Structure 1
Amino acid sequence: MVDPQMSAQLVDVVVKRRGKTVLGPVNLDLGAARFTIVIGPNGAGKTTLLKVLHGVERVSSGTVQWSVPDEQARQAQAYVFQSPIMLRRSVRQNLAYPLELLGTGKDETAHRVATWARNIGLEDMLDTPAPRLSGGEKQKLALGRALIRQPKVLFLDEPCANLDGRSTREIEALLTVATKAGTRIVMTTHNIGQAMRLSETVIFLLNGAVHESGPASEFFNAPCTPEAQAFLKGDIVE
């Protein structure tokens, strides 16, 4: 079960850069859904929204309030970027790094590293330098490195962008297992099919604002606005 305490509320959140509003005003309740997909055209503010929720994007005005203290919320979260950041170390050392930061014992670290290397299909590459991995392997390593510390909330920014079908399928399987284990996922994607396969709730952003949000079944079967209908048909939406 997803921890019911880990919910967030955004009230009148605005993000401006160089005097231009790139997000907001956003009023949003991020409830207890296990898998939330954020969709919208390029430049809609999807990545900015994720960074605001994760606390790494400064808001110009408004508030972001988690239902637990801020420090506790941050410790319970993980974030995987669209272009995964690899430490210039082996696969083993990349997986172990977050556990070392938490002060996890050596035996427990070794056990969890071996388990997650197997989970992401890199058990035969533990001593391979991470920068030498393929794009799909790097993304799986980044995902494993995030999940190894068992976060309550995981933010993913286009984790399957530019990956082939097999890698995408493997990552989706990992995400499904993670949600069943209790991790809430908030993820951006341009892939409508992927959004339909994975999402429990959907947030549709347009021009920096939340245009629609709600249960995935309702959004995909009967979107409320012409803009959402056009986006789902693959039309250009401005």
Structure 2
Amino acid sequence: MISMRDISVRFGEVQALKGVSIAVGRGEFVALVGPNGSGKTTLLRAMHGMLSLRGRRELAPEAARQAMVFQRPFVMRLSVSNNLRLALWLGGVPRAQWNERIASALERVSLQGLEERPARALSGGQQQRLAIARAWAVQPALLFLDEPTASLDPAAKKDVETLLAGFAADGMTLVMSTHNLGQAKRLASRVVYLEDGEIHADLPTAQFFDGGLTGRAQQFLKGEMA
């Protein structure tokens, strides 16, 4: 679905990614984990094509349909439905499909009935679900998520995890950064550990959590690194 080869990203004097190579196959759910400043968000943004980089980024044709959900969702000063209409317009979706897609997306995230409410009047959990609905409405083949439940309460986190598990079951390809190792274990099919802008482990989820790690990656898993 997407292949990144020898990717390096620099912000001034800071080398954020150092020759990273990673490939994500169709239908995978990849969790990026690691300490603060390890490069998780930078890698997500590089994969999504948001950053200038050195190296090679290759996409399968269907991966051109992609979206990203950020840690702090940005919602426009518009109604819930108009936030979705804007995403559909930007995504090139034919206008004739908008109403059906909006209704389906809001039902999928349990926000039906709130179409005309100002988006910024929603709770934090509802705004995150709106951001996910906005991404899902354009029917991406590839979805990136940056700490999608970091600022949510337990109930809202559970709601978002249920949505993401459903997307994965539908065959969508997902790449998510998270500090929540339990979340990675519950949702991901594969876990990638980053530190200091480099990948130090890339394993199937069961192997990652059941003795497949060594060194600093093992220390991180034990909670000995922030």
From 156, 174, 180, the counterpart of 2:145: 156
Q: 1:89 is matched with which residue?
A: 78
Matched, 1:141 2:134: no
Aligned-residue offset at 1:10? 1.8
The equivalent residue for 1:105 is 95
Counterpart CA distance in 1 for 2:179 and 2:223 is 10
Sort the Cα spacing of 1:67 and 1:109 in 2 relative to 1 into closer, same or farther, 3 A: closer
1:129 has 2:122 as partner: no
Distance 1:33 1:178, change over 3 A: closer
Change (3 A) 1:103 1:218: closer
User: Which sections of structure 1, spanning at least 5 residues, go unmatched?
Assistant: 1-6
Identity, % of aligned positions: 38
Query: What is the match of residue 15 of structure 2?
Result: 21
Greater alpha carbon shift after TM alignment, 13-22 vs 50-59:
13-22
CA distance in 2, matches of 1:177, 1:103: 23
Give the structure-1-normalised TM-score: 0.90
CA contact (8 A) 1:33 1:200 kept: no
For 1:41, the equivalent position in structure 2 comes to: 35
* SS of the residue 2:113 aligns to: helix
Alignment pair present for 1:174 and 2:163: yes
* Equivalent residue number for residue 106 of structure 2: 117
- Aligned pair count? 225
Question: What CA distance in whole angstroms lies between the structure 1 residues aligned with 2:58 and 2:36?
Answer: 27
Q: Which residue of the partner structure matches residue 193 of structure 1?
A: 182
Partner of 1:124, secondary structure, is coil
Q: Is the 8 A contact 2:93 2:138 kept in 1?
A: no
| RMSD over aligned Cα atoms | 1.5
Does the CA-based 8 Å contact 1:34-1:200 persist in structure 2? yes
1:32 and 2:32 aligned: no
The one of 56, 61, 79 aligned to 1:63: 56
What 5-or-longer segments of structure 2 have no aligned partner?
none
8 Å CA contact 1:39, 1:189 repeated in 2: yes
Is 1:217 aligned to residue 217 of structure 2?
A: no
Secondary structure of the structure 2 residue equivalent to 1:57? coil
Q: Matched residue of 1:55: which SS?
A: coil
Q: Provide the TM-score with structure 2 as the length reference.
A: 0.94
- The answer to whether the 8 A contact 1:189-1:195 is kept is yes
Aligned partners of 1:227, 1:146: CA distance in 2, in Å?
35
Could you tell me whether the CA contact under 8 Å between 1:204 and 1:213 is conserved in 2? yes
User: Could you tell me which amino acid in structure 2 is paired with residue 198 of structure 1?
Assistant: L
Equivalent residue, structure 2, for 1:10: 4
